[in-house]
Amino acid sequence: MPIETIFDTMEYGTAPEDRSIALQWIANHGGLIGPYVNGVFAPARDDLAIRNPATGEKLAGMTLCTKDEVTEAVQSARAAQPDWQKAGGPARARVLYALARLMQKHARLLAVMESLDNGKPIRESRDIDIPLAIRHFYHHAGHAQLMPSALSDRVALGVCGQIIPWNFPLLMLAWKIAPALAMGNTVVLKPAEYTPMTAMIFADICSQAGVPPGVVNIVTGDGSTGAALVDATVDKIAFTGSTSVGRQIQEATAGSGKSLTLELGGKSPYIVFDDADIDSAVEGLVDAIWFNQGQVCCAGSRLLIHEAIADDFHNRLKARMDKLRIGDPLDKSIDVGAIVDPIQLQQIQALVQANTAGQTYHAQTPVPEGCFYPPTLITGLHPADTLMQEEIFGPVLVSTTFRTPAEAVEIANNSKYGLAATLWTENINLALEIAPKLVAGVVWVNATNLFDAAAGFGGTRESGFGREGGWEGLQAYSKPRQPLPEPAQVTPFTGQGAAADDIDRTAKLFIGGKQARPDGGYSQAFFGPKGQLLGHAPIANRKDIRNAVQAQLACGWGKTTGHLRAQILYYLAENLAAQTNRFAERLDAMTGLTTGAEEVRAAVDVLFTYAAWADKFEGRAKSVPMRAVALAMREPVGAIAALCSDQHPLLGLVTPMAAALSTGNSITLCASAPFPLAATDFSHILEASDVPAGVVNILTGPQADLAPHLGAHMGLDTVWCLSGAELTQEVQARASSNIKRVWQGAAQDDHDSWLDAGTEIKTIWIPYGE
């Protein structure tokens, strides 16, 4: 037979990985797995069956942990936490290093077990999941070592409850446990019901690595176990999973004082410009949507292809799809493995079957019986079609076309999610123009699905908040050393005295750059300590909030340069300083104190400080172990509303405003409720200082009436609750409407925390080399 014919007809042989090592591990544990608490495996029960999705065979029985068992695990973590923290960063570094080393020594067992349990191809678990998980522990051993010097002003949160999904079981465990332990926290982790096995091996490794009892606890079970962990007396919940459960958790933790980070779903765009290297972009797409059977939160599941190359691209993509090999996950030459569970398979099938738009193409490749689904491409969809908007979480790519870069950005951002984005172009100028415009926590240029422990990962919009990995990920597992005192509540003075001014002055709201009467037409009288009438302040309502947020969304402040923002903040300082006496008198008259002049000087200083930071609060270029730079860019969080503290009517207004403006955000300030007249006076300073319309809006009125509307508003990205726990709870209870960030402020001089609260890291990956 001629060699050419041999090449044309050559078939892959099978290359099965030996599974006996993993099955033996299960047998050694009596075929049952259960909670790992206080350094030992508790007796396990056969409450739920863990199955190999590729064959349906039962791998093990699993304990469904009850509320009491979760409580016991949390108590164990609580008891262990003080000593773990006191042990110090370098001692923790040794333990994390030992964990990394031992995971490396058991890498093959972990990889085989992951593929058996989850259905992912062994070449992915062996070459991606497990090495990345190990790298996470090495990297965070370093963070533990450096904590005393590099993060000396921060301490552990305490006990962290961590809930992870089934798509990357060990990798998600590593993303959660490594930073938590490095910062001195102890953890209770709940793996997903479908995929607990590698977490159990990890528990075994913890015992070998000298992790003190109680520092790592693992509770097995289903959603009810997760819900019990959310309710338990933990200091933080870190969750990765669906947006719907993330929303429930945000509601359940409202007002509890628990820290929260949410890494949720996505519908990430994959944009291919007409000058892209098409074959590379096709190959990238294979990794974007068929990696892990498309069960990836940041999967490039929405192809946006330039109209001029769409037909050619789709044809080459279909040819590539037909070559993908689907089958036994433990076969080393398999590209696409099993879907995690028949229920997930049914969801994928139902979503695709319900779609009547576009043309559906299934890869022409043999699909085994059982829990398998062929790589699928749906072309000709419109941006508003259901499958362009909803996460399928399976190997299904949807596609639409665009004509100009501006249109590509518009379609890409037309989503409730904002997790990741990929763009392909040979024009680096175009790439660096487009990357900042994409609403996403991670952007890959001419590559996709690159991850590393040094580079932050996380979303925006309904993809959640908080970052995992890198320096930014440590913020979520530590807090300032000095606790923030609860802001004092102040009652306004009452009175019936004569007006303090000869001529009546009408204070108004400040919305969209204009003085505005309150929509409701109500005002409230304010009196000085001796009962004299100081003036009336308008009472804002829901419609005033709506108008203010609309003005914020149209203002374009986020696109300005740091230099321009600094100039305007300095100008504000200049104009406020020129009015020192007037403001000082007003403050003294409202509060009955004599500290007005001091407060004005402090406010001027704050404006100078944040003006200074405006062009200096920079990102980093991350050192990742590959031929790429990962740029950690600081981006504004967007539209902020602040409930200003009662005390310090001017300083409490100017500080959030200056921090927000410095970092490129617009802000609606709900002024000090008992002393609002300094805020209404301040609007004249804003008018005189070239602040563009809508960048700063000032509302007055009872904050308790405004707080629920701020919490529920879909246009606001963040609410800063600076006036106390009660209103924080009000806002948090409604913040899940659009998965809003809620922040309770920092000490006046903790500038880093204020600036951090105004920014989120976007990681832009740019590979280099020929």
Residues in contact with ligand NDP by CB under 6 A are: 163-167, 190, 192-193, 222-223, 226-227, 230, 240-242, 245, 248-249, 264-265, 297, 347, 391, 393
Tokens matching residue 658: 């200056």
Residue with smaller CB distance to ligand NDP, 161 or 676:
161
Question: To the nearest whole angstrom, how small is the minimum distance from the Cβ of residue 544 to ligand NDP?
Answer: 36
What is the closest distance, in whole angstroms, from the C-beta atom of residue 666 to ligand NDP in the complex?
29
Choice between 371 and 537, CB closer to ligand NDP: 371
Task: Let me know if 437 is exposed, middle or buried by CB neighbors in 10 A (0-12, 13-18, 19+).
Answer: middle
Is 179 in contact with 142 (CB distance < 8 Å)? no
Cα dihedral: 544, 547, 548, 550 (round 10):
160
**Cβ-contact 155, 184 below 8 angstroms:** yes
* Rounded least distance, CB 105 to ligand NDP, Å: 28
Q: Closer CB to ligand NDP, residue 212 or residue 223?
A: 223
Minimum CB separation of residue 720 from ligand NDP in Å reads 27
Handedness of CA 624, 627, 632, 635 (dihedral sign): negative
Q: Which C-beta is closer to ligand NDP: that of 458 or that of 596?
A: 458
SS3 for 400-465, per residue?
EEECCHHHHHHHHCCCCEECEEEEECCCHHHHHHHHHHCCCCEEEECCCCCCCCCCCECCEECCEE
- Choose between 222 and 283: whose C-beta lies nearer to ligand NDP: 222
The residue among 199 and 271 lying less far from ligand NDP, judged by its C-beta, is 199
Q: Which residues of 477-510 are buried (b: 16+ CB within 10 A; e: fewer)?
A: bbbeeeeeeebeebebbebeeeeeeeeeeebbbb
Output 190 or 709, the one with its CB closest to ligand NDP.
190
Of 696, 217, 150, 216, nearest to 475 by C-alpha is 150
Q: How many whole angstroms separate alpha carbon 141 and alpha carbon 89?
A: 9
Q: How far is the CB of 218 from ligand NDP (least distance, A)?
A: 12
Residues contacting 17, CB < 8 A, separation 6+ = 112, 115, 122, 126, 330, 331, 332
Q: What is the DSSP letter of 530?
A: T
Q: Which of 623, 624, 674 is nearest to 649 (CA)?
A: 674
Report, in Å, the least distance between residue 329 CB and ligand NDP: 18
Distance CA 236, CA 74 (A): 12
Judged by beta carbon, residue 240 or residue 293, the one nearer ligand NDP is 240
Query: Do residues 20 and 37 make contact, with C-beta atoms less than 8 angstroms apart?
Result: no
In the complex, what is the shortest distance from the CB of residue 485 to ligand NDP, in angstroms, rounded to a whole number? 32
297 is known as an active-site residue: yes
Residue nearest to ligand NDP (CB): 226
* Helix boundaries (H) for 87-213: 89-105, 107-118, 122-124, 130-150, 169-182, 197-209
191 phi, psi to nearest 5 deg:
-75, 170
What torsion do the CA atoms of 651, 652, 654, 656 make, to the nearest 10 degrees? 140
Pairing state between β 696-699 and 741-743: unpaired
Q: Which helix (H) or strand (E) holds 536?
A: strand 533-538
Give which of 665, 683, 678, 679 is closest to 720, Cα–Cα: 665
Decide: 271 and 424 in contact? Cβ < 8 Å. yes
Q: Which residue lies nearer to ligand NDP by CB, 393 or 526?
A: 393
Nearer to ligand NDP, 165 or 518 (CB): 165
CB of 394 to ligand NDP, least distance (A): 8
User: Given 3-state DSSP classes, what are the helix, strand and coil percentages for the chain, each rounded to the nearest 5?
Assistant: 45, 20, 40
Three-state DSSP class for residue 95: helix
- Closest to ligand NDP by CB, 163 vs 281, is 163
If the CB atoms of residues 240 and 655 are measured against ligand NDP, the closer one turns out to be: 240
Go through 518-545 and write b for each residue having 16 or more CB atoms within 10 A of its CB, e for each that does not. Answer: bbeeebeebbbeeebbbbbbbbbbbebb
Least Å from the CB of residue 759 to ligand NDP? 23
- Least Å distance, CB 16 to ligand NDP, is 28
Q: How far apart are CA 149 and CA 406, in angstroms?
A: 45
Annotated catalytic residue: which of 297, 371, 670, 721?
A: 297
Rounded to a whole number of angstroms, the minimum distance from the CB of residue 563 to ligand NDP is 38
What is the β-pairing status of strands 359-362 and 759-767?
Answer: unpaired
Query: What span, in angstroms and rounded, lies between the C-alpha atoms of 646 and 649?
Result: 7
- Using an 8 Å Cβ cutoff, are 484 and 746 in contact? yes
| Residue whose pair of structure tokens reads 């000082």 in the numeric block | 584
- In the set 17, 69, 124, 263, the catalytic residue is 263
Q: Rounded to the nearest whole angstrom, what is the least distance from the CB of residue 163 to ligand NDP in the complex?
A: 5
**Of 269, 379, 253, the residue nearest 318 (C-alpha):** 379
Nearer to ligand NDP, 225 or 425 (CB): 225
Alpha-carbon torsion (673, 674, 678, 684), positive or negative: positive
Q: In the bound complex, what is the minimum distance in angstroms from residue 199's beta carbon to ligand NDP?
A: 11
State how beta strands 154-156 and 718-721 pair.
unpaired
Catalytic residues: 263, 297
